[in-house]
Amino acid sequence: MAVIELKDINVSFKQKDKTIVAVQNESLTVEKGDIYGIVGYSGAGKSTLVRTINLLQKPTQGSVKVNGVDMESLSEDELRDSRKKIGMIFQHFNLMDELTVFDNIAQPLKHSKLSKKDKHAKINHLLDLVGLADRSSNYPSQLSGGQKQRVAIARALANDPEILISDEATSALDPKTTVQILEILKHLNEELGLTIVLITHEMQAIKEIANKVAVMEDGRIIERGTLLEIFTNPQQQLTKDFINTATNRDEALVKVRELLATQPLSADERLVQINYVGNDTAQPLLSTIYADYGVTTNILYSNMEILTQTPVGLAIAVFKGEDQGINTAITSLIDHGVQVTELDPKEVN
């Protein structure tokens, strides 16, 4: 079921002497239970597109439906109620410094009809959920960035939203804290059925928890698909760039280049990149190409990830053997569904 349906959305900002088109006629459908990652560089239009979901940003053109309801047809009161079902978290947490953790989380419940006792129980439950039960009387200034983001998550959940929008929520955090926050989001998605829209400029974050991905550039979604589709068969260069960073391929190639500078390949050696999907198909195949074609493999880098339950592997290796043997070996690997790309050892990128 589609929870969010953005259709032909255009967002333009009129300036004195020009018009900035932040989103150009884009559509996006998010299904219930999705963790939909939206990745792109700064200025791509990610926040603007996503802010149309609860009409924090009114689209210049196009329609916004949440649970089948046209958001622009709602009265002010109805829109306010509808917005409560869409929680948001941000890069800079946006907590109230003068309020305790407890009171920050209580903020969205100010006008709720819950009894005082029920409110307290609810806030304590939310504190438990984000692992901050022991910090309820602290002030934000007494917390780490990761803890502040946990408070922001608890606050975003106070009105039992069906949708959580995370706009660069992990961008100010270190890698370890980022993983912890992403794990909380994943847990909320699984336990509460929360639908999550995850804006980020790091494919790494998307790789951790998303099941779908859209890549944005210049106000357009230039590529979209399931996480597996995007990682195993990216079409656009920008998508490939993001993936190469997320799989550490870029970093590995720098090391390979350094290695090859001191130990150049001999005439019977060739540098290749191997990509495979599904159960570890590559490893046994590499032994057969030795048996069948006399080609030895020296793996310089290898990485395997489980993306939505499917193993996705990448290796950078040196094949050594006769030219004809290597050619036949590569063809044989490709026939078995393994992608093999020859890399220029001098210009490895």
Ligand X SMILES: Nc1ncnc2c1ncn2[C@@H]1O[C@H](COP(=O)(O)OP(=O)(O)OP(=O)(O)O)[C@@H](O)[C@H]1O
Binding site for ligand X (CB under 6 A): 13, 20, 22, 40, 42-48, 201
Q: Which partner, ligand X, Mg ion, none, binds residue 137 by CB below 5 to 8 Å per kind?
A: none
d(CA 31, CA 67): 10
Given a contact cutoff of 8 angstroms between Cβ atoms, the answer to whether 183 and 204 are in contact is no
3 state SS of 314 = strand
| 200 in contact with Mg ion (CB under 5 A) | no
Minimum distance from residue 168 beta carbon to ligand X (Å)? 6
d(CA 200, CA 40): 7
Which one, 50 or 105, has the nearer CB to ligand X?
50
Q: Could you give phi then psi for residue 28, rounded to 5 degrees?
A: -150, 130
Q: Which partner, Mg ion, ligand X, none, binds residue 104 by CB below 5 to 8 Å per kind?
A: none
d(CA 67, CA 108): 22
Minimum distance from residue 87 beta carbon to Mg ion (Å)? 17
Which one, 16 or 113, has the nearer CB to ligand X?
16
Torsion sign, CA atoms 41, 42, 44, 48: positive
Place of tokens 């057969």: 288
Which one, 172 or 304, has the nearer CB to ligand X?
172
Minimum distance from residue 22 beta carbon to ligand X (Å)? 3
Q: Which partner, Mg ion, ligand X, none, binds residue 237 by CB below 5 to 8 Å per kind?
A: none
Minimum distance from residue 6 beta carbon to ligand X (Å)? 14
Minimum distance from residue 60 beta carbon to ligand X (Å)? 12
Q: Could you give phi then psi for residue 338, rounded to 5 degrees?
A: -100, 130
Minimum distance from residue 167 beta carbon to Mg ion (Å)? 6
Which one, 40 or 140, has the nearer CB to ligand X?
40
∠ CA 5-184-114 to the nearest 5 degrees? 75
| 57 in contact with Mg ion (CB under 5 A) | no
Which one, 47 or 239, has the nearer CB to Mg ion?
47
d(CA 262, CA 252): 16
The CB-nearest residue to Mg ion is: 47
Which one, 47 or 149, has the nearer CB to Mg ion?
47
Residue 186: how many CA atoms within 13 Å on its side-chain side?
14
Which one, 88 or 307, has the nearer CB to ligand X?
88
- The residues facing 20 across adjacent strands are 13
Looking at the chain, the number of H-run helices and the number of E-run strands are 12, 14
| 166 in contact with Mg ion (CB under 5 A) | no
Minimum distance from residue 24 beta carbon to ligand X (Å)? 11
DSSP letters spanning 99-142: S-HHHHHHGGGTT----HHHHHHHHHHHHHHTT-GGGTT--GGG
Structure tokens at 108: 């969205």
| 48 in contact with Mg ion (CB under 5 A) | no
Which one, 43 or 145, has the nearer CB to ligand X?
43
Q: Which partner, Mg ion, ligand X, none, binds residue 20 by CB below 5 to 8 Å per kind?
A: ligand X
Minimum distance from residue 210 beta carbon to ligand X (Å)? 17
Compute CA 233 distance to the chain's CA centroid, rounded to the nearest angstrom. 17
| 47 in contact with Mg ion (CB under 5 A) | yes
Residues lying near Mg ion in the complex (CB under 5 A): 47
